């Protein structure tokens, strides 16, 4: 019998500053009615790359490669609200501007280990929707909502583990990568 290999569910992300998360919380409070769940305050982040379930050896290789990412600190900003599919509303997000170059640098550093993102869409998931009573009125109300024009400095990115629980995911920091 082979021994069981333990893996961790891993992703690369940018954490959102507390003061920005406070503004996002206000947006979440004003979302049109739906059945589902708003993203918890502590879980608001921008995923640059989801890596999946990895063994320890592969995680160590990822950590080494991510250390080679060289970028200056930069400004990112919140954009409009949106959904991926207007036919089947499952995710409500806020667009994040300014992070594409960092995502590409992360992708480049992991070449050969992971496929590059085919269509990276820089977004922050703020709600997971199970059901809306009236899709058209939900979308109409969403389009009318204003997201505060907020910029914030991105001075690092992180490697994190995601542990799925019945109450929702919990994220644990594995390594911080400062930007120059």
CA atoms 77, 51, 44, 89: torsion sign = positive
pLDDT above 70 for 109: yes
- Assess if residue 158 is contained within a domain: yes
What was the pLDDT predicted at 46? 97
What was the pLDDT predicted at 167? 82
Q: b/e map of 54-83 (b: 16 or more CB within 10 Å)? A: beeebbeebeebbeebeeeeeebebbebbb
- Assess if residue 2 is contained within a domain: no
pLDDT above 60 for 74: yes
For the chain, give the number of residues: 180
- Assess if residue 133 is contained within a domain: yes
pTM over 0.85: yes
pLDDT above 70 for 5: no
Q: Does residue 142 contact residue 81 with C-beta atoms inside 8 Å?
A: yes
Q: Does residue 148 contact residue 118 with C-beta atoms inside 8 Å?
A: no
The CATH number given to whatever domain includes residue 48 is: 3.90.1140.10
What was the pLDDT predicted at 168? 82
Give the count of domains, the chain: 1
What was the pLDDT predicted at 4? 53
d(CA 48, CA 72): 16
- Assess if residue 156 is contained within a domain: yes
- Assess if residue 1 is contained within a domain: no
By C-alpha distance, which of 176, 146, 155 is closest to 98? 155
Q: 121-175 pLDDT, tens per residue? A: 999 999 999 999 999 999 999 999 999 999 999 999 999 999 998 888 899 999 9
Q: Does residue 6 contact residue 106 with C-beta atoms inside 8 Å?
A: no
Q: Which domain holds residue 54?
A: 7-178
Question: Which pLDDT band holds residue 114 (cuts at 50, 70, 90)?
Answer: very high
pLDDT above 90 for 63: yes
């Amino acid at each position: 019998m082979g021994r069981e290999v333990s893996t961790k569910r891993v992703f690369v992300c940018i954490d959102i500053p507390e003061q920005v998360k406070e503004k996002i919380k206000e947006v979440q409070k004003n979302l049109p009615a739906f059945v589902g769940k708003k993203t918890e305050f502590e879980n608001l982040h921008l995923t640059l790359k989801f890596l999946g379930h990895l063994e320890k050896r592969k995680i160590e290789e990822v950590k080494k490669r991510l250390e080679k990412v060289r970028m200056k600190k930069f400004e990112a900003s919140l954009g409009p609200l949106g959904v991926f599919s207007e036919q089947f509303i499952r995710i409500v997000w806020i667009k994040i501007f300014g992070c594409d170059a960092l995502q590409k640098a992360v992708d480049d550093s992991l070449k050969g280990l992971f496929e590059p993102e085919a269509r990276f869409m820089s977004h922050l998931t703020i709600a997971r929707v199970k059901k809306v009573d009236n899709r058209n009125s939900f979308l109409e109300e969403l389009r009318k909502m204003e997201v505060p024009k907020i910029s914030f400095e991105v001075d690092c990115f992180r490697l994190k583990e995601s542990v799925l629980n019945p109450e929702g995911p919990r994220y644990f920091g594995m390594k911080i990568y400062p930007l120059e």
